[in-house]
Chain A
Amino acid sequence: MPRIIGNPKKSFVTGNETAAWACLVAGADMMFGYPITPQNEIMHYWTRLAPKHGRGFLQTEDELSAGFTVCGSVQCGKKAFTATAGPGNVLMQEPFGMAEAMRLPLLAIIQQRGGPSSGTVVYSQQEVTLTTFGGNGEGMRIVYSTASHQEIYDYTIKGFNVAWKYRFPVFILGDGYQAKMREPLEMYDPEDRGIEMIKPYPLIGLEGKISAGREPQHLCNIYSLEEELYEVVMKVAAEYEALEDTIVEYDEKYCNDADIIIVSHGVVSRAADDAVKALRAQGIKAGYFRPITLRPYPRKQLRAAIAKSGAKKLLIAESAYGQLDRLTKQEIFGENVKIENLFKPGVGIIDYDIISKVKSVL
């Protein structure tokens, strides 16, 4: 693949543009999408860039269709992606479920907006439950929650490789603020960082003629017997769990001695980072823990942080009414730590909010 960026350089960009460029340099072949705020500029930039680089785009009739066209595209060996938000993410749970069931390596960028229903178009962290455990399945997905444009770029590139290597659907979970925010980004071609992009490969439409002896492929997505499905799900679960240590990512600061650990993800973790520094400067022993992958969740690492810090409390801060909270509680069940929360559904959280909350509970 010819290099697109050339010499790595810093650019001043928005998060949506970042996502479009990252998909381009990662070698994505196709985007399927449907207009929904706040992800529109991903499509706007992809439709400007794609024809210049021989890539494809289709604006489908809705998000169900966008999700399923991506499923079809990856089945026949193309690196395909979509981007959506809010009610669009709800509709895409049906195709995302198919991707989970059939182990299809699709990549979806989710720019969370306010909910429930049409909610707001602005911002939230209310699509955590949906993106990690949506659909009638077991949440066999890989979800990266990004906090900066650089991370949107890096994890989108990585996400394609993780998807195609392990064959689980991958989600880049951003939000409306990250989508619209402007900040510097270092753009690069993956090969210049020693990242080898995994070549996509077809699951159907394989090379060779069936009439000349090639085995036909029959991809299965429904089972007649309970036992059959049971075996399939158990096998997938085992494979997923075996990968956890490889895939899990997190960030941890000041947890060697902390009375309280602030757990947050995505853009809120930027405020948590500032808050912890400010609290430390005031002599308050606060720690910082941020799951970067929400699925699989860095449960061992958070348990270890609690153990070594001796923290008596966790403060879970999120722009939702307890979605990270529920996720975290189920992952660290049994820990002897009191859990406080700072829930601001659909509203931004700044360092001041966290500092005040910490002071009020210590």
Chain B
Amino acid sequence: MLAPAVPKSWYLPSKPHKFCPGCGHGIVLKALGEVIDELQIQDQAIFGCDIGCSLLAWDFFACDSTQTHHGRTTPVMVGIKRSRPELTCIGYMGDGGGYSIGSQHLLNAAVRNEKVTLILVNNTNYGMTGGQMAPTTLPGQKTETSPYGRDPETTGYPTMGPEFLAELTPDSAYIARATVSKYKQLKKYLKSALKNQMEGNGFSFVEVLSTCPTNWRTNAQQSWNFLEDEMEKYFPVGELKNPLGKGDK
């Protein structure tokens, strides 16, 4: 039997990976691995992981990698980029780490147009701590800290990350929202986000809509339905800013 084709930049001793079956992280990381290969940046990439499920990716790549703190991946990546601009910094985080505890860093890094690439995986809940409400939890969605369903009256509406970051950044920034259900598009966005950093343009950000069957308690069909029917309707997929060429919004 032929071994499945895996990106050259994957770190094989850490495979099979540790994400739950049906988790979308694996798809994002496969796309990212292929992009790292295509751009030939394995030797210059620095991969930084937040705390949360994104942490399970910390030894995913054969790239120099570091774990950080919950919410603090953005400033750690900024510190590296400001000190060694020749490195390509990739911050990998979840919706809680990016939009909640790390939101001030995200916002200010965007305002300063920091030349780092941030990938934020949105699965509408805090996975690792057991399925609590996240900034991206949909209205009415039940979680461990919204056991009667998220009530926008008291907890607001889901954070629209790419939309608010697009407002804060100059035109040299790259901002997009992808989904694990559209692999080619996801890969294209990740590639653009990395190229934008490498060309020295500015802040580069991709939110990726993803699945969390373990905490949603959904089977394959239900997981996909939630992603495509609920999440993608609420969170529009597309490029909001693309200085590299024409967006496909």
Residues of A within 8 A of B (CB): 34-37, 40, 43-44, 47-48, 51, 57-59, 61-63, 87, 117-118
Nearest Cβ on chain A to B199's Cβ, whole angstroms:
33
CA of A58 to CA of B133, assembled, Å? 11
Contact B70 A118 (CB under 8 A): yes
Q: CB of B51 within 8 A of chain A? A: yes
Which residue among A44, A51, A57 has the maximum number of chain B CB atoms within 10 Å of its CB? A44
Contacts of A118 in B (CB 8 A): 51, 67, 69-70
Contacts of B154 in A (CB 8 A): 58
CA of A37 to CA of B145, assembled, Å? 14
Contacts of A63 in B (CB 8 A): 101
Main secondary structure on A side of the interface with B: mixed
Contacts of A57 in B (CB 8 A): 145
The 7 A-B pairs with the shortest beta carbon distances in the complex, nearest first, are A62-B101, A35-B129, A35-B132, A61-B100, A44-B144, A35-B126, A47-B145
Nearest Cβ on chain B to A51's Cβ, whole angstroms:
7
Q: CB of B185 within 8 A of chain A? A: no
Contact B101 A34 (CB under 8 A): yes
CB<8 Å pairs between A and B, sample of 15: A34-B101, A35-B129, A36-B129, A37-B129, A40-B129, A40-B130, A47-B147, A48-B147, A58-B154, A59-B145, A62-B100, A63-B101, A87-B69, A118-B69, A118-B70
Contacts of B67 in A (CB 8 A): 118
Q: CB of B33 within 8 A of chain A? A: no
Interchain CB contact (< 8 A) of A59 among B70, B130, B155: B155
Q: CB of B162 within 8 A of chain A? A: no
Contact A43 B132 (CB under 8 A): yes
Residues of B within 8 A of A (CB): 51, 67, 69-71, 96, 100-101, 103, 126, 129-130, 132-133, 135, 144-148, 154-155
Which residue among A35, A36, A62, A87 has the maximum number of chain B CB atoms within 10 Å of its CB? A35
* Residue in chain A with minimal CB distance to B133: A59
Interchain CB contact (< 8 A) of A51 among B126, B130, B148, B155: B148
CA of A235 to CA of B145, assembled, Å? 41
Contact A40 B101 (CB under 8 A): no
CA of A34 to CA of B100, assembled, Å? 10
CA of A36 to CA of B145, assembled, Å? 12
Nearest Cβ on chain B to A248's Cβ, whole angstroms:
36
Known: A62-B71, A87-B69. A43 touches B145 (CB 8 A): yes
Contacts of A87 in B (CB 8 A): 69-70
CA of A136 to CA of B129, assembled, Å? 30
> Other than the known A34-B100, A51-B148, A59-B133, what 16 A-B pairs have Cβ atoms closer than 8 Å?
A35-B130, A35-B132, A35-B145, A40-B144, A43-B132, A44-B130, A44-B144, A44-B145, A47-B144, A47-B146, A59-B155, A61-B101, A87-B69, A117-B69, A118-B67, A118-B70
Nearest Cβ on chain A to B50's Cβ, whole angstroms:
10
Contacts of A36 in B (CB 8 A): 70, 129
Nearest Cβ on chain A to B135's Cβ, whole angstroms:
7
Contacts of A51 in B (CB 8 A): 148
Interchain CB contact (< 8 A) of B96 among A35, A40, A117: A35
Nearest Cβ on chain A to B151's Cβ, whole angstroms:
10
* Residue in chain A with minimal CB distance to B135: A61
